[in-house]
Chain A
Amino acid sequence: MQVLSTHTRTVGVFLFVLLFLYTLFLLRSNRLSPQHAMSWIIAELAMLVLMVSDAASLFIVRLVGADNALSAIFLLATIWGVLLMLDLLVRISELNAKLRAVNQELALLGERFEKLEQSLITADSKDH
């Protein structure tokens, strides 16, 4: 069973460290909420451990029955990526439902407000 070559390991670690730092930057600048960042940070740290540790990558190789560490990590990353996308779709659907409810409520309240405003104007003009 082949472990990662030094070259692959270096490139992989470099890219994942960059990705990790970018995630922290997004978190720090408030463009990414901690709630949403959690799954990404866990995934990035897990990938870093697999890149650095031969024991961890060999464990994954045996687990999935791959020929080498790179294929096993690639398979794992793909599955993780699909799961994260599905998680995001769930969040989008939930937000969509909430946004629809807010939008409808706004329309209903707007109509009620106009009706009240009209009745106040009518009452006011009667007083004068």
Chain B
Amino acid sequence: MRVLLIIPAFNEVENLQALLVELRQYRSQYDIVVVDDASADQTAQIAESNNVPVLRLAANLGIGGAVQTGFKYAVRNGYDIAVQLDGDGQHDPAWIEHLLKPIASGEMDCVIGSRYMGQDYDRDYKTPFLRRVGMIFSTAVLFLTTGKKITDTTSGFRALNYRSFEFFAREYPVDHPEAEALLMLHQAKFQFKEIPVKMRGRTSGRSLFTLLKATQYPIRVLVGFLGILLRGPRE
């Protein structure tokens, strides 16, 4: 099975270098593509110097647009599985094989790496307060609309089979897309589940989840969900 690791990155020069060095041991198993979301720093050059293909976006599209570009690349290059992996290095590549198992066996269409699942709750990972509040809100909204309890709605550590990433290559939410993407999967009758993973803290750079974005997040989630519900399931 051909597996592609999609790494969206925006001004992640230091974290990306460390991540790509770490990924060298997996290069025989997985292909990698970095989506440079119009970074002002040397993010694209770092990827190139590590012999990793780079998709350079001419203008910043945000995480949703960047990840979707990776899905389009995966479709055009005939991959079987796509794995989203943040460029800030918070997602430990050692967990990729755990994400892949339920997909490779045909059990699931999408698997999400969760920091907050049951007994395996990742106590080492310190979630910023505002992000946690936003996550509780989106978990509740997702539960009300789908009946599924997803503990880590904002996790960008996901593996998808061809059917599901081809679906997202055609349509994918833009800002804070993770929770909305799950609702879209549910509506289109894709199977998805969470598995517990451990994540690491960001070592350098700043999170894009700022105070302003955190305060807007609940309304943004509500409006986004409303739009998806009104549009109905997509083919």
Contacts and interface: CB of A to CB of B under 8 A. Distances in A.
Interface in A30-77: none
A108 B76 contact: yes
Interface residues of A, number: 10
Contacts of B192: none
A107 interface: yes
Query: How big is the B interface, by class?
Result: 10 to 19
A103 B57 CA distance: 6
Contacts of B144: none
A110 B57 CA distance: 9
A76 B165 CA distance: 48
Nearest to B64: A100
A107 B57 contact: yes
B59 A104 contact: no
B69 interface: yes
Contacts of B61: 100, 103-104
B65 A103 contact: yes
B69 A110 contact: no
A81 B174 CA distance: 28
Interface in B56-81: 56-59, 61, 65, 68-69, 72-73, 76
B76 A106 contact: no
B133 interface: no
Interface of A: 99-100, 103-104, 106-108, 110-111, 115
Interface of B: 33, 35, 53-59, 61, 65, 68-69, 72-73, 76, 174
19 contacts: A100-B174, A103-B57, A103-B58, A103-B61, A104-B57, A104-B61, A104-B65, A106-B57, A107-B57, A107-B58, A108-B55, A108-B73, A110-B55, A110-B56, A111-B33, A111-B53, A111-B54, A111-B55, A111-B73
